[in-house]
Structure 1
């Protein structure tokens, strides 16, 4: 079936989002590279265009409905109607419950859950018109519980319920909706966690790897490869699933 080969990846300035954007460009998608500021997306866009791919940098706060609407409209105008959406944007504001502020809670739930809701609501218009689409939401192994992350784990568990409901609602329009729950992935975000815990990043990675059955930490490309499958033609009978990409089974 002919359909638009345009994807939007949120939080695509660096880390997992950047790797996903590059991989989808390699797969032949025009990519809307979305992050808080347009400038922050420049490196990802340059990496894509340097290899002959097509990408546009878009600045938007995914928790702001007007900005989301404008961002999706811009991608549609410059690249074509987006039929693939990867809701990857995320932040952490880690703290134990008794020290967690309302702002810590609202900020994290806002970017992850409200952001995924607003982006999905906007992009589904294009997907249902085209009669084809793929939404991939980024959850986390933290959805199963992680000390100091009541806000983040609630948001990431919420992404799973959100995924399953959208899969039910959008299936008849040719749209699949799945979630990926990464384990330990080597990114600036995990480096920041190590710093917060006052642990050297190499030591932090080594101790994480020791507890992972495949005996290594994950790379952003591990997630990008899974997104590539879920965003493609051949995954059309996979929907409403949460795939743990964590180097071993999760409880």
Structure 2
């Protein structure tokens, strides 16, 4: 019983074989997935998937690389969508200092606005953090994100950063990179994460795990992440799957 807590099955990379991709995930024991919509194009397609499949849930938010395009109407749209029974989080939101598509100050403003909205609505948040660890943690603290918590998606930071996020009530999620042979830091951090705060994901079609690195990722491959993570934790595979699925159900308040 696996839960892919972060995937993009609406991505055009799956346009030719989406139903096969979903069927393969089910065959590999993936019983639930959260598909993430993050701009005007992907929020509607994410909602369509969540409405079509019982086992697919939705997260909706505004991605930092698209921050410069966000208007008040978009925030209102996201807030309205959170009333939908299949929407379980606001995200992915955060900061991305790798891609130079939105100025840092605009990213930070949009990040703060969405944290504030999540607090008003009582929704967990999914954090995208690329090359912006210090600012992400600072803004989460300043905006009292601990009131809602959520997920540090595809975590790539240090144990010190992870501890600060754990202290604010966040879950730490790992994907394909933890399977890479040269991924020393993610492996070291994963081992130290408390069992009740650990999640797994694919971020498909991105960040494909070994041995398929460099090819298109898919939700079925969350099993490869789970196998590596269970081994690192010294846990039985099935026990690890039950644990991380239970964590995800708690995080997203899925009954």
TM-score by length of 1: 0.42
